[in-house]
Amino acid sequence: MSKRFARGLVVGKFAPLHLGHERLIRQAREQCEQLVLLSWAYPELAGCEPERRTNWLRLRFPELRSWVVTPEWVAQQRAGGMALPDLPHESDPDAVQRQFVADFCLAVLCHPVDAVFTSEAYGDGFAAHLSRCFGRPVEHVEIDRARIPVPVSGTRLRADIHGLRQYLAPQVYGDFVERIALLGGESTGKSSLALALAETLGTRHAAEYGRERWEEQGGVLAYDDLLHIGRTQVEREQTLAGQCRRYLVCDTTPLTTLFYCREMFGRAEPELEQLADRRYQHLFLCVDDFPFVQDGTRQDETFRRRQNQWYEQELNRRSWGITCLRGSLQQRVEQVLRHLSG
């Protein structure tokens, strides 16, 4: 069954991509044989950089063609001979913004569109401008300008991203969740601290997959297991982040996996080295200032001390800011809370 329009277009900042945008896009998709998504924000908006918006659109609408354009992208296209004007600035008149879209359709898509879909008052004028540029009618389809089903805007979300997180898909909200990473040698209380912090902050924690893998395999790990552990730990973080409330507590990071890989095999895959460079907003090192507890799986106190020294050296080499945690479990929780509120 043919759809109402052959080609449709949705233009937006998608900063961030929220459920109101998604509702608009889905209704547009139902009416078009082909639907194109076009996004730009000039100047860019903090937290909604082009790479993030590109990823959001690909994750949420992988079946659609989407472009997130920047001044650099426009310059590259021009260098290749494409006729495109400068990317419009936020302060440029509506006519300039609309002309860029018309030129984009003709130069990049190589064809006009039959309809534009918006939830905005400017939609009729936008469609009229495109009609004049294309020499053929372009229809404006307005969808929920009152925003009753999803009463939110990008401006409101940017002002209170965590308070309004219910208006974001988990894959989008996860990019705004701050990671709290815990490092420390064996028997430095990381796992207990991760659980306590998650409970105190009312959020989730990413447990240490390496320990689970080790137990599954009866205490034996092969070289290839370490890269798998690093990948899985990151995947676990990414999955959990969208289910969190402002923070995700990470019981470990791929830096720990790198330590064990070098320790056990004297080498590591380049991909694991890259994963170990993964950055976290809040990084804590659990100091080995209480007696070593042997649970039957750990090595010894000397190994613990050497492991913590390695963390200190690596973190200093990378120039990563770190806060050392000392004392009892409750004291460490309080130290983290003071850091987060500082």
pLDDT tens for residues 277-302?
999 999 999 998 775 455 555 565 77
pLDDT tens for residues 180-194?
999 998 777 899 999
Judged against a pLDDT cut of 90, whether residue 169 lies above it is answered with: yes
Is there a single domain that holds both residue 158 and residue 192?
no
Is there a single domain that holds both residue 56 and residue 164?
yes
Is there a single domain that holds both residue 160 and residue 216?
no
Is there a single domain that holds both residue 333 and residue 193?
yes
Is there a single domain that holds both residue 24 and residue 103?
yes
Tell me the C-alpha distance between 305 and 299, whole Å.
11
- Considering the entire predicted model, what is its pTM? 0.91
Q: Which has the closest alpha carbon to 308: 332, 284, 330, 328?
A: 284
Is there a single domain that holds both residue 199 and residue 330?
yes
Is there a single domain that holds both residue 200 and residue 319?
yes
Q: Which domain holds residue 131?
A: 5-170
Judged against a pLDDT cut of 90, whether residue 304 lies above it is answered with: no
Is there a single domain that holds both residue 221 and residue 265?
yes
Is there a single domain that holds both residue 71 and residue 215?
no
Identify the domain boundary among 121, 140, 170.
170
Identify the domain boundary among 128, 148, 170.
170
Is there a single domain that holds both residue 194 and residue 153?
no
Is there a single domain that holds both residue 165 and residue 294?
no
Which amino acid is residue 61, in one-letter code?
F
Is there a single domain that holds both residue 189 and residue 102?
no
Identify the domain boundary among 108, 139, 170.
170
Q: Which has the closest alpha carbon to 233: 260, 259, 267, 206?
A: 206
Structural domains in the chain (count): 2
β strands within 62-170, DSSP E: 65-68, 115-118, 139-142
Q: Kindly report the average pLDDT of the chain as a whole number.
A: 94
Helix (H) or strand (E) holding 274, with range, is helix 270-275
Q: Which domain CATH number covers 70?
A: 3.40.50.620
